Amino acid sequence: MSPAVPAARLVALDWGSTRLRAWLLGDRGAILDERQGGDGASTLQGGAPAFDQALARLAGDWLGQGLPVLACGMVGSAHGWREAPYVACQARVDRLHEHLVEVRTSGGDALRIVPGLIDEPARSTPDVMRGEETQVVGLLHARPELADGA
């Protein structure tokens, strides 16, 4: 009898300006597979179709299985697949899902883009994050003691 193959639960994307990184995740966030390529948001020409094609090239075999697809980073910028407007700080992590922006791939998969965060102090330039906020949320989930006093 062969060992059970872990079931995939999520396709996670970190789509930066210069790189696209993808993970196929199983239960409890176990990494089942990971890939990366050079199709960053700033390198793609042709709008939404170019993003769709880049995703298909890198992880097309993970799509079409009914898995949720969650993306963060520059994919949600004004130059990305679709803009996900910034959410003002102090944003509640447990409410961030209310601001996801959905696009459909050419194969019909729902891809949800995590919004960035913005801090707009009264007397200085706004400070923004797009992609890094998702990494911080993951870190705080894994190490809750780091959120003490945050």
Q: Can you list the domains of the chain with their CATH numbers?
A: 10-147 (3.30.420.300)
Is the predicted pLDDT of residue 150 greater than 60, yes or no? Answer: no
Confidence (pTM): 0.83
Give the long-range contacts of residues 108-111, CB within 8 A, separation 24 or more.
108/64, 109/63, 109/64, 109/67, 109/69, 110/68, 110/69, 111/13, 111/55, 111/69, 111/70, 111/71, 111/81
Q: Which of 57-61, 112-116, 128-132 has the lowest mean pLDDT?
A: 128-132
